[in-house]
Every structure is written in C-alpha cells, then in structure tokens.
Structure 1
Amino acid sequence: MLKEQANIKVDRRDGKLINANITLKQKAEEKVDRRDSKLAMAHFYMAFIALALGGLAGLLQVLVRSGKFVLPAGIGYYQILTVHGVLLGLVLTIFFIIGFMVSSVSRTSGTFTSRQRTFGWIGYWLKIIGTIIAAVMILLNEATVLFTFYAPLQAHFLFYLGLTLVIVGTWFDSAMLYMKYGQWKKANPGQPSPLLTFMTVITFIMWDVATIGVATTVLFQLLPWSLGIIDTINIGVSRTLFWYFGHPLVYFWLLPAYMAWYVIIPKIIGGKIFSDALARMSFILLLLFSIPVGFHHQLMEPGIDPAWKFLQVVLTFLVVIPSMMTAFSLFATFESFGRSKGAKGLFGWVKKLPWGDARFTIPFIGMLAFIPGGAGGIVNASHQMNQVVHNTIWITGHFHLTAATTVVLTFFGIAYWLIPHLTGRVFTKKLNKIAMIQGITWTIGMTFMSGAMHAAGLLGAPRRSAFSEYGGAAQAAEWIPYQIAQAVGGSILFLSIILMLYIFVNLAFFAPKGEQEFPVGEVAEHAEKTPMVFDNWKLWLGITAALILFAYTLPFIDLIQNAPPGAKGYKFW
C-alpha cells in the first residue's frame, strides 16, 4: 500500500509545473484568439474613422445653426446633416457593435473556426464596400436624404445599393455568430449558453428580423424608383417599413450597452452578476417588445388607423418592464459589492465603487443619462405629448441623450479595455486619467447640446433644419440663445472626440505591451439556477413572429388597399 501511494505521489516541483501549465491554459482561454482579434480590430478601425468624420460634420452643423458660420465650398447644410447621421447613427454603431460581439463570443464560446471567420470577413468587406459607395454619393450631393432616407426624398440608386450591401454584410456577420453558438450548444448539451454569447444571439436575431423591413423598402421600392423602373411608390408603406426597422435599431444600439452593464461592469468593480436568469429574461422581453412598435414613430402620419397606433404605443410602454429589471439588477450588483466591502447605511455602498476607474465611471454616467432619456421616450411615445414635440428639435435632443450619451459613453468604456486586450497592450494610469477627462468632457458637452435642443424644441424650434430658413424676429429671439448653447456643446464634444481618438490610437499602436483583461463577471452564489427555456428559440421566435403579424398585417393591408391616388405605381404595393 505504501509503495502504491509512493508511486502515485507527484513530485513537488512537477506539481508546480502542472499548476503553471493550468494557469497558462486558463489565461489562453480567457484571451481572444489573435485571428479573431484581427477581425474585431478591423471593425474598430472603421468605427473610429466614422467617429472622427461624423463628429466633424456634427460640429459644422451646430456652428451653422449658431448663425455665426457659413459652410465653405458650396457644401450644403443637409449634406453634412446626412453625413453626420449616417456615419454616427449607422456606420459607427454597426462596426463597433460587431467588433464587440465578435470579441465577446470568441472570449466566452471559444475561437471561431476558419469557415466561421470567413463569413465574418465577407460581411466586413461587404459593409466596407457599401459604406464607401453610400459615402461617395453623399459627398457628391447625390444622396442628401438625411439619416432616415425615406421617401419622398430620393437619392442616387448607388446610395441605396450601398446601404443594401451594408445590411447583407451584417447578415453574414450574424451567420458567423449563430454558427459559433450552435457549435457551442452541440458540444455542451443541456447547459445554458455563456451569457455574453446568449445576449449576442438575441441582439442579432432582433437585428436580422428588423432589417427585413428596411431591406424590403430599399430593394422593392426605393431602388427601382431611383432607377426609373417605376414612377411612384406608396410612401406610407415605405415609411412604415422603415420604422419597423428604425425602432429596433435603437435597441440594436442599446443592447450591447446592456451587455457591458450586466456582464462586464460587475467584474470591473470586483463584484458578481446579481442574476444570470434575470439578465436573460430582460433580453428576451426586449426582443419581444422592440420590433412590433414602429407606429409610435408615426403617430402624426395619416393612413394608419388610430387603434393600431394605440396598440403599438401600449407595446412600446411594455419595454419599461425589462428596463426596470435592468436597473434593479445593476444597482443590486453595486449594493451587494459595497456591502461586501463593509458599507453601512442606505447609500454607504456608493462610496465603495471605483470612481477613479474610467472603465466603470464613464459607462455609469451613461446609465444615469438613461433616466432622463427614458422619460423623454415616454413623452415621444405618448400620443398627445408627441403632438407637441414631434417635428421639433426635442426629438434630436432625445436621440443625443440616449444614443449619443448612454450608448456612446458605454462604448467608450468598452473601448478602454477591449482595444488593448485585442492589441496586446495595457490601459495605463495615464490613459485612464485622459479617459476620465474625455468622458466627463463628453458629458458636459452633451448636457449643453442635448439640454438646449430639448428646451428649443418646447419653444417650437424645428428639427432637421438650420433654423435660419424660418426667419422671423420673434423666433430668432427665442431660439438663438439655444442655438449658441448647442454650438458651445458641440465644440466641447469635438474636443472630447479628439481625446478619444488619441486614446484609441495609443491603445491600438503605442501603449506598453502587456496583458489587459477581458473582464467577464461571474454569477453570484445566491442566484437562482438558469432555466433552459431561455435557449428555446422555437418558442421565442414563434412569439416574436406572432406579435409582428398581429401588429402589422391588417395595417399593411389597409395602407396598400387605401393608398391615395398616384401613390401606388407598383403592382406589389
């Protein structure tokens, strides 16, 4: 017996070697594979180019609205408005989100196969080609159709072709992510999928279902119309198809921020995820309630029965449920962490949070901005109050508070640690200080600009306008102070963009070499077990399809059958 024990005993030095090998293996599994990192970084390079150019266009806009600046070289105001909206609302967000999703799935579900990665690169180059084609048309003033690009404004057919390539490119990206998810599920039967991977799948299901609407109007209405194949189109159908996509687009921006809040932030502060099941349920509900609600963007439009508008407003307000669940889960995580550090009293835990860490503080400011942003969303989706603000710059202020503050600040917080993780560099203390300045500067600039937009909107200042076209001494006296405030805010924001570009370039190329953690939170010990029903896609996709058909089938039939004279012009519409 003693001899047998001696034979199986591991030498102390060999034990250290085994432990070292296990540690190295764990570190390798926690790091995104170099080949996947290359694909993710390709997306981030494009995202930050879009931030630079779109930010410059935004600065020029607010300077023009101040009445103190005239655009040079015959550049039109609506031309730079289109550049700003498309680059920041579509290009920046799409490329950043896909870079983040690729990294998240690779980190939590394992390295992509060569075949899966090929789908990703095809999607990337389709998006690049489409973006370049659309951008050239905008710069040539052949596609000055604003961010929403819906009829009766018409662009060159190449603009619509470029947008189509971008959308098809994202479908290749989603195919890559779905294949990896399926591969993980096959290798781990009966196990709930990694939380970040699950959230990625939900986000892209929502995106793919939503883009069916915009792809349909572009391919079967706008593209044939711009080519002269058809003379007229049904504008009501076109706008409805756009907003079938347009509202989920807002959640396509927001869900990656939720991913960081639920999974990344707990690890950064040293705490744990309050509840895996609660996080999954909130994402399921956001999928169900984000798509069949586009009519609340069309409350002022004719041709849609008020009863259907009312139904979709009710569905819109149901989004409050997962939003409240998210707020509860996040602040439960923060409080649990604070209590574990000895915090006392009702708000003693607040002092224990790592306020000097930009990876936490800047996204946290974004969380707080979502409170007034959500309140503004309630105004926009309420029929009577929407009549007051619908075509005013209040709406623009709302988007700058939600997408450009809540979402973008969270994206900045992600970039601080993700870029160096992918490039093998370190987010240094010096860069952390600059990031704090950058994020706070952004917050100050957006407070000026978004606040002024909300105030001017309540006074009737129109959106999508340089204001100067409306004239009138009384209007000028009311609006000019707010226009100047917007110019001040926009200037501060542009300084923040310069700082962010400095941080990005350093993290991509010049920061010290090293290992930067990809923080993925662990679930708290007291959390309930995650039910497998969340991975039952037949159930959730079936409910999603039923809600969409219920909310849109009869209104679409009505829009097509009762189109005004001269609005049809195409046999399918």
Structure 2
Amino acid sequence: MTTITEKAKDLVKVDKRDGKLALAHIYVAFISLFIGGLCGLLQTLVRSGHFTLPWGIGYYQILTVHGVLLGLILTTYFIFGFQIAAVSRTAGTLTSKQRLLGWIGFWVMTVGVVMAATMVLLNEASVLYTFYAPLQAHWIFYLGLTFVIVGSWIGGAGQILKYIEWRKANPGKPSPLITFMVVINLALWIIASLGVATSVLFQLLPWSLGWVDKVDVLISRTLFWYFGHPLVYFWLLPAYMVWYVVIPKIIGGKIFSDSLARLSFVLFLLFSIPVGFHHQLTEPGISSFWKFLQVVLTLMVVIPSLLTAFSLFATFEIRGRMLGGKGIFGWLKKLPWNDARFVVPFIGMVAFIPAGAGGIINASHQMNQVIHNTIWVTGHFHLTVATSVLLTFFGAAYWLVPHLTGRVLTKEMNRLAIIQAIVWSVGMSIMSTAMHIVGLFGAPRRSDFSTYGGSAQAAEWIPYQLAQAIGGTILFIGIILALYIIANLLWFAPKGDEEFPIGEVSEHAEKTPMVFENWKIWLTICIVLILFAYTVPFIDMIQNAPPGSIGYKFW
C-alpha cells in the first residue's frame, strides 16, 4: 500500500495550464542559450587572435549580447519557468488571476527583451552586461530593461499570491519547502532589482533621452552592484532548490532537515543584498570603513553555504549507507551514477567548491587588488553561474520538460545528458582555468586584447587565449547537445509520465518552527541591514556629487 501511495504522489502532475506558462519561459531561456552561447564562442575565437568578426560586427557588440542574454535573460526566464512549475506542483494549481499575472509578466518581459536586443543588434547599445555609465545606450535599450524588471515583478506576484493563498488555507502549518524557497528568492529579486530599476529610470533613461546632461557615475555603479551581487544568489537559489528538495527524491533518500534548508535560505536573503561594495573596492568616493563592513557581510554567506554542503552530503551519505556503502567513502559508490537527473546537478555541486573559493578571494580586500578587473573574475563567473547553476538547470530541465510535455526521459537521452555534462565540464575546466591563470598575469576582462598589440605582456597571454578558444568551442558543442536533448524532450520523446520529484523530510528531522514563516521579522532585518550598509555612503555620494550630475533640465 505504501508503494502505491508513494507512486501516486510521484505522478502528481503540474496542471497543463500552468505547464504551458512554465514552458513559455523555458522556450525563451533555451533560445537565449543558443544565441548567447554562439556569441560567447565568437568572443573566445576573437581573443585567440586567429579570428576576425565578419560583416562589421563589433567585439563589444557580441560581448553585450553574450552577457545580457546568458546573465539576465536565460537565467531569469528559466528560473521563473521552474518556479511556476514548482509552486503549482507543491502549493496547488494557480488560480486564473495568478496565471494571468504570470502571462502578463511573461509578455511584458518578452517585449522588453525584444526592445533591448534590437538596440544591441543595431550596435546602439554595446554597453556590456553591466551597462556602466559613461557608456551610453539608446533609450529603447534602457526602457526594454525596465520592462524586463517590471514584468518579472508582475509574474513573481502571481507566485507570491499562491503562497499567501496556501498559508490562509493551512494556518499553523509550514508551507511546502520548495514554495517557501521560491518566495525567498522572489523577495531577494524584488528588493535587489529596485536598485537597478532606480538607476535606469532616474539616471540612465533620462540621460539617454537628453533630459539631463550627465549622471553621477559612482551612484549609478553603486545602484547596479546593490543589484548585481544578489543577482548571483537569484541565480544560485533555484539550483539550491533542486539540490535540497529534488535530488534527495531522485537518489531514493529523504531531505536531511527542513529547518536547516529554510534557515540557509533566510540567511541568503539577509546577507546577499547589502554587500555590493565588495565589487567596488578599488573605487574612490566610498569610505574604507563601509567597504570593510560590506566585505564582512559578504563573507557571512559562507555560513549558509556550509550549512547546505553539510545537509546535502549528509543526505547522500545516509542514503549510500542504506544501500550498503562501507568505509569512509563507500557510500559514494552507491549513488545513482547512471541517472542524469542526479549526475548533471552533482557535477554542478562539485564545481561550486572552487567557485566558492574564488568568490572568497574576489570579496577579500587585499586579494581583490590582485585580480580586480582581470579575466580571473570572468573565470569565476563561469564556474558559478555557467557551471554550478547552469548544469543544475540542465539537470532539472531533463525531467521538468518531459513532465510538462507529457513525455519521458528515455535511456538514450539520459545517456546523452550525462555525456553533455561531461563535455561541458571538460570545456569549462579548460576555459575557466585559462582565465584564472592569465588573470593572475594581469590580463584584463572585457577586452579582446587587440589594444596590447605585440607587447611582451600580450605574448605571455597567447597560450591561455588559445586555451580559452578550445574550451569555448567544446562548451558550444555542449550547448548543441543540450539543445538537441531539450528538442527531443519537447517534441519527439515517447509519450508517458515523467515525475516531478519532490523529496520528503526525514522522520528523524526536528519539527520545523513556524518562525520561518514570519515575514515581518525577516524582511525587517533585511531592510535594517540594507539601510545600515548604504544610508551613510549614499548621503556622502549625494553631498559630494559633481555639479549638474543630479537633476533634470526641466526642473
């Protein structure tokens, strides 16, 4: 009877109407992967010194496409598609109003993407992923980015309303774990994106329209990095959702601790936002005290990261020993190494170890001086979002897409998915390692190196630039494999029922305290930390702003 009941739970399907909304987001995500990945390949080929872009295409044009499509569009669309499906699966089918908000948000975002992408393709917005002033884009680019952010708020509201509805219907009970995690991630996103929305609406957009003559560069960069660092955790937390909630079910185990998972997510919310200054450690105009304070707050995220590592590997070891694993590492051999749903995200988990170590270096005051604005930082980003996060997204897509389309992950596609992850890992190991090493030699980021000519310094970089091109080519092969698998799961795989795996909490875990559902506490602490970290520095920036950099002509 237990087996039948558990099987019935496994086959709980996401409502087709919610699945259609989730799939719409996933379509855009994988289209972005192809275009952005192609531009990434072209970048590495240009940096190798053996390739010239055709048809007058500029290096910074493809750099902008690569950064915006993969860093902002691919991630945001896949995350929203995954979160919509996860909320529908665990908190119940979305209401018509909630689903309508999701569709409105999707179309507002998509119109914004088309606007911004058009300007980049016309070479009117080659301002890179960070769109720093004094680089200026066409006003349509900035308006498009505004639409993307506002659309995400609208779509996120539908997911939050579902959580509120569930809480009202189940008073005194902790919400489904993955739904709680979704709301944490949306809270982080909304609070953080207020910074970049403020910069775009009140600085960059009026400036590009000619309403102001100039903008305060320090304020615009500060507002961007108020958003830019928590953006990393907006990428990462959905991967953590898969690691915490989905992987235990896939391996046949149980969630080690519901409370520990919720605590780690709350800590990420508190300590990921008020830390943008660690991206600005070399910039004048910010007191060293406030930089040091935010470095300390940055390093606080080590705590939830270690909690996550402990919880996950406890789950793995317990399950491995249940299957007969002996000795110190015997349990590791018992894990399902032939199941792509586990293997692909697991490789992402392992990659997060060197990625996290590199992040500590980036955030450390003195060590940051060595690698600041070098291609080391680019290598770090590729280990975090392009390996840990993206491999986890791939692993999730390999069961999520067939679940939503009413198909199954076949043995052939499962095998190919494992091959794809290995190809990706090889390519990324080559490219990212080369980036880290040549970054220590001082090679700059955001550069095609052409300005360094035949200097002795540039000559030292050539082998590493070639290695990046080789790694980038292998990575693009990995992208093609991933797209082939997704296309198969969308349209060609056999019809059937693929489970949406949701793990159960171990019976030995402590009862989850309801304090985690008290949003007044966590949002208040979050706002207090932000005000503490940013109020005085912003007052200093405004008081010392260059004449004419704040204010509108018609004022």
Task: Give the TM-score taking structure 1 as reference length.
Answer: 0.95
User: In structure 2, the residue corresponding to 1:519 is in which secondary structure?
Assistant: coil
Contact 1:277 1:531 in 2 (8 A): yes
State whether structure 2 residue 408 is matched by structure 1 residue 465: no
Verify: 1:55 aligned to 2:43, yes or no: no
Alignment pair present for 1:405 and 2:370? no
Q: 1:289-300 alignment to 2 at 5 Å?
A: 289-300=271-282
Match of 1:242 in 2: 224
For residue 134 of structure 2, what is the amino acid of its counterpart?
Answer: P
**In structure 2, distance between residues paired with 1:27 and 1:402:** 31
Unaligned stretches of 5+ residues in structure 2: none
Secondary structure of the residue aligned to 1:349 is: helix
1:4-61 deviation line (CA, Å, top 9, x unaligned): xxxxxxxxxxxx9xx99x8997566x21000000000000000000000000000100
CA distance in 2, matches of 1:278, 1:524: 12
> Do the aligned partners of 1:185 and 1:193 also contact (CA within 8 Å) in 2?
yes
Contact 1:232/1:570 (8 A) holds in 2 = no
More off after superposition, 463-472 vs 437-446: 463-472
Give CA-to-partner distance per residue, 1:179-215, whole Å, 9 cap, x none: 1001100110100000000000000000000010000
Q: Is 1:441 aligned with 2:423?
A: yes
Specify the alignment match of 1:377 in structure 2: 359
- Residues 52-92 of structure 1: per-residue CA shift (max 9 Å, x gap): 00000001000000000000000000000000000000000
For the 8 Å contact 1:233–1:570, the answer to whether it is kept is: no
Partner residue of 2:504 out of 522, 525, 532: 522
- Contact 1:234–1:569 at 8 Å: present in 2 too? no
Whichever residue aligns with residue 466 of structure 2, its letter is I
1:385-396 mapped onto 2 (5 Å cutoff) = 385-396=367-378
Give 1:362 deviation, angstroms: 1.1
**What's the counterpart of residue 465 of structure 2?**
483
| Distance (whole Å) between structure 2 residues aligned to residue 243 and residue 92 of structure 1 | 20
Retained in 1: the 8 A contact 2:211–2:552? no
Alignment counterpart, residue 193 of structure 1, candidates 150, 156, 175: 175
Q: Within the alignment, does 1:94 sit opposite 2:76 as a pair?
A: yes
Residue pair 1:231, 1:569 contacting (<8 A) in 2 also: no
Cα shift readout 1:343-369 (whole Å, capped 9, x = no counterpart): 111111001001111111111111011
Counterpart in the other structure of 2:532: 550
Q: 2:519 aligns with which of 537, 543, 562?
A: 537
Task: Give the drift of 1:572.
Answer: 13
Q: Within 2, Cα distance between the matches of 1:34 and 1:391?
A: 46
What are the superposed Cα offsets for residues 115-149 of structure 1, whole Å, 9 maximum, x if unpaired?
Answer: 11000000000011000000000000000000001
The one-letter code sitting in structure 2 at the alignment partner of 1:182 is I
Equivalents in 1 of 2:373, 2:27: separation in Å? 35
Q: What letter is aligned with 1:249? A: L
RMSD: 1.6
Q: Is the 8 A contact 2:435 2:464 kept in 1?
A: yes
CA contact (8 A) 2:10 2:500 kept: no
Per-residue displacement from partner, 1:270-306 (whole Å, max 9, x unpaired)?
Answer: 0000000000000000000000000000001110000
Give the C-alpha shift of residue 568 in structure 1. Answer: 3.6
Asked whether the equivalents of residues 355 and 361 of structure 1 are also in contact (C-alpha less than 8 Å), the reply is yes
Task: Indicate conservation of the 8 Å contact 1:232/1:569, yes or no.
Answer: no
Counterpart of 1:314 in structure 2 is 296
Q: 1:45-444 maps to which residues of 2 (within 5 A)?
A: 45-444=27-426
Structure 1 gap ranges (5+): 1-15
Q: State the 1:564 CA deviation.
A: 3.4
- 3-state DSSP class of the match of 2:497? coil
Q: CA 1:25–1:333 in structure 2 vs 1: closer, same or farther (change >3 Å)?
A: closer
Q: Tell me, what secondary structure is at the counterpart of 1:469?
A: helix
Offset, 1:375:
0.6
- State the one-letter code of the partner of 1:156: H
Residue identity matched to 2:33: L
TM-superposed CA distance for 1:473, in Å, is 2.9
Equivalent residue, structure 2, for 1:5: none
Distance (whole Å) between structure 2 residues aligned to residue 566 and residue 449 of structure 1 = 44
Contact 1:282–1:326, Cα closer than 8 Å, also in 2: yes
Instruction: Evaluate the alpha carbon distance shift between residue 342 and residue 480 of structure 1 in structure 2; reply closer, same or farther with a 3 A threshold.
Output: same
Shift of 1:174: 1.3
Letter in 1 for 2:119: M
- What percentage of aligned pairs have identical amino acids? 71
CA deviation after TM superposition for structure 1 residue 476, in Å: 2.6
Write the letter of the residue equivalent to 2:521. Answer: L
User: Given the superposition, is the C-alpha separation of residues 556 and 102 from structure 1 closer, same or farther in structure 2, using an over 3 Å criterion?
Assistant: same
1:119 & 1:84 partners in 2: Cα distance?
A: 29
> Partners in 1 of 2:338 and 2:172 — Cα distance?
41
Please tell me whether Structure 1 or Structure 2 has the larger radius of gyration of its CA atoms.
1
- Cα separation, 1, equivalents of 2:305 and 2:313: 12
Give 1:477 deviation, angstroms.
Answer: 1.9
